[in-house]
Amino acid sequence: MADSARLGLVTYLMLAVRNLMRNLMRNQRRTTITLLTMIFGIAVLTLLSALNDGWLSQMKTNFILSYTGHAQIHAKGFEASQNLRDRITNPEEVTRLMQSYPEILGWTQRIRTSGLASVGGGSAGIQIMATDSEQETWVTSIHEHVTKGTWLRPGMSQDLLLGATVADTIGASLGDRVILMAQRPAGEMVSEVFYLRGILETGAPQIDRTLALIPLNTAQVWLKMGQSITDIVVRADQHENTDLVVHLFAQQLSDQTYEIMPWQELDPMVRQWLEFSDAYGLVIILVVVILVLVEILNTMLISLHERHKELGVIAAIGTTRFQIFSMLLLEAVLLIFIGASLGYLAGSLLVYSLSGSGIDLSGYANAFQFFYMNPVIYPDLTTDSAIRILGTTLVAAVLAGVYPAWKATRLSLSQALRIQ
């Protein structure tokens, strides 16, 4: 019987393909409606998925490049305490590792602490970030968000950049003398005079509302930290290598001394938003696929009803139940494959037509900036989404085919053969 099953397979495939083609032609109106439903569903799904992936990718890139980098290395416990006592005292131990990893595109060192900014009568709580003006540009694009004035100038120790909102709050203008107040690691409060050289407008409220940027060397002297720093910010060559970079550092650095955090852990809100968006994308896929599945199931059941007799005949002359089952299942898979392929092609064309201009949502720009989004969304058709859409559709095809195929194996032969 093994021979029979092997050789018969070609016949079943042939029968399935011919049956499919005949069924497509037998009721052309139904076929057109079914195929159009599938094509429309899969095309919309492809476009929505591409838009979702597009804005998620933009959001991820904006988040990573505007401030956090792909990963940060801190002294153990710093992220929770935000206290300068938890600092990296020997950054050289970490930075020398950077050279050996080609996945690392750049890094920078920072001191991060909270403080107070005041000018004239106005004052506000701030997040002081001291960084190397040149190294920072290798890692983040924050220097591109200077909307007024200039970026930190090399050798100018008293330069200060403020977020646009905080500058407004305290009423500071370019060239103003701004007094920053902070706490040294030993606990004493100190203040220093800086001159406002630039205003930053990243669009992310949490940055624009609190950030005060000063040169790293100045901060190390002012806060009496020697060569110590609080953050080493790392940029990987691509987003997908974040975990690899974290893993490489985790292997080399003691977890008793350091904490190595990928960007997802540095801002739980962004991480949750990305997870929610992924889940939302999956829900869209599921809804569309369920609709397609129901449509195909309906078509297959009607087709099964119409071919009751034919199935009875092939069973009567010696086709086993398994062979009938696999033949009908294959038929459903082929039908969905045709619809899904055409739908995906139509969706890809839609994405392609929008990929140049994107979808302009600048009317909602403020709301979108909150989520690190650009006002123009460019759809992005990724391999992952193609696999997700076509894979889910394939699973749906199998599910849609299983019930009618199983039902076909339960036919009463004598009744089927009596049908006129």
Partner 1 sequence: MTSIIKTHDLHKCYWVGTMPHPALHGINLDIKQGEFAVLAGRSGSGKSTLLNIIGALESADSGSVEVFGQNILEMTQDQRTRFRLHNIGFVFQAYNLIRVFNARENIAYVCQLQGKSKEESLEIANHWLREVEIEHLGYRRPDQLSGGQQQRVAIARALASDPKIILADEPTANLDTQTGRNLIHLMQDLNQRPGTTFLISSHDPDVKEAASRLIKLADGQIVDEWSTIPKTPTSIYSDCPVQNMPFGERVQFKIKRLIRWRRIRKPSKKNRRRS
Question: Which residues make up the interface to partner 1 (CB under 8 A)?
Answer: 1, 3-4, 6-8, 10-11, 15, 18-19, 22, 309-310, 313-322, 413-414, 417, 420
Least spacing, CB of residue 38 vs partner 1, in Å: 23
Query: Which runs of consecutive H residues, i.e. helices, occur in 154-267?
Result: 164-170, 205-208, 216-222, 242-252, 263-266
211: helix, coil or strand? strand
CB nearer partner 1, residue 60 or residue 321: 321
248: helix, coil or strand? helix
Least spacing, CB of residue 17 vs partner 1, in Å: 9
CB nearer partner 1, residue 110 or residue 307: 307
Radius of gyration, alpha carbons of the chain? 31
335: helix, coil or strand? helix
CB nearer partner 1, residue 186 or residue 317: 317
Least spacing, CB of residue 395 vs partner 1, in Å: 28
CB nearer partner 1, residue 133 or residue 323: 323
d(CA 296, CA 332): 8
Least spacing, CB of residue 381 vs partner 1, in Å: 38
Category of 404 on φ-ψ map: left (φ > 0), alpha (ψ -120 to 50) or beta:
alpha
CB nearer partner 1, residue 5 or residue 395: 5
Least spacing, CB of residue 398 vs partner 1, in Å: 23
d(CA 393, CA 391): 5
d(CA 281, CA 53): 9
CB nearer partner 1, residue 61 or residue 320: 320
Listing DSSP states for 91-157 in one string gives HHHHHHHHTT-TTEEEEEEEEEEEEEEEETTEEEEEEEEEE-HHHHHHH--GGGGEEEE-PPPTT-T
272 token code pair: 């949750």
CB nearer partner 1, residue 141 or residue 319: 319
Q: For residue 142, count other CB atoms closer than 10 A to its CB.
A: 21
Element of type H or E holding 410? none
Least spacing, CB of residue 409 vs partner 1, in Å: 9
CB nearer partner 1, residue 31 or residue 61: 31
Least spacing, CB of residue 20 vs partner 1, in Å: 10
Task: Give the Å distances, CA to CA, from 109 to 50, 72, 129, 141, 227.
Answer: 36, 10, 10, 15, 10
